[in-house]
Amino acid sequence: MPQASALMNVMITAARKAARQLNRDFGEAQALQVTRKGIADFVSKADLRAEEIIHETLSAGRSKYGFVMEERGEIEGADNSNRWIVDPLDGTTNFLHGIPHFAISIALERDRQAYAGVIYNPITEELFRAEKGEGAFLNDRRIRVSGRNELSETVFACGLPFAGMEGRELALEETKRVLEKTAGVRRFGSAALDLAFVAAGRYDAFWERGLNIWDVAAGAAIVREAGGIVSEIEGGNKHLSAGSIIAANGEIYDSARKLILDK
């Protein structure tokens, strides 16, 4: 197994430091003070503390890089080619309900492309990582997307908008079509982990609309290094900014897109 690069070590260190704080907060999730940001979209002290730790650690490792963070927004850096994309707690609703399915997501965007990614679940201690040209790994084991080529044997993951959010009916229609042609659909509440699970071959495909760059940047890098295909649902390559994404193994990518789009 190739040794992690200096860049990757900075990212892993930041994720593990933030994870220690999240683990402490997770045990007291019900006692956290929570501010309502929007429909079923919460920000807690845990998010803010974890993001601060990640910001400090990444800044110490690469002082000229800029940032795009879920809570703080965009911070320009002296290096115009590189910026960190950070979601300190993907799966906040799970976290606040004591469900151990959430993750820290850190990506490096280089020249507006997802170059490297780390996704870490502090509870399971599963760390997914990838850097362009170096392959994808789960802890110390190299991972690959699944090789299933029959839709009837596949399992998809998805995200569904909460009640009152735009796109709910469309998502339900898409999910119904997928359920009719596959072995099942899972909705676990963390886009970052959904993408990581595609990379590890646990899911065969994942799709969702209405996402932000911090939801998908790390996962996109990891899926691609695991041999998968990532794009907008409509097929374009602006999935980091367009808000829609599909990730799948190469065997079913085309048929998965057609199924979701009802073509």
- Predicted pLDDT of residue 192: 98
Domain assignment of residue 124, given as a range = 6-142
Q: Domain check: are 189 and 100 in the same one?
A: no
> Based on the domain organization, do 124 and 19 belong to the same domain?
yes
Sign, CA dihedral 235-239-245-251, equals: positive
Q: Which of 142, 164, 199 is the last residue of a domain?
A: 142
Q: Which residues contact 149 (CB under 8 A, 6 or more apart)?
A: 251, 252
* CATH number of 120's domain: 3.30.540.10
Please tell me whether residues 138 and 160 are part of one structural domain. Answer: no
The answer to whether 101 and 188 are in contact (CB under 8 A) is: yes
Residue 247 forms part of a structural domain:
yes
| pLDDT at site 200 | 98
What is the predicted pLDDT for the residue at 37?
A: 64
Domain identity same for 132 and 18:
yes
pLDDT at 243: 87
Q: Which residues of the chain have pLDDT under 50?
A: none
Q: Structural domain tally of the chain?
A: 2
Per-residue pLDDT tens digits for 77-131: 999 899 999 999 999 889 988 899 999 999 999 999 999 999 999 999 999 999 9
In 43-190, where does DSSP find H-type helix?
A: 45-61, 92-96, 168-181
- 178 with 245, same domain: the answer is yes
**Per-residue model confidence (pLDDT) at position 263:** 81
What pLDDT score does 66 carry?
Answer: 96
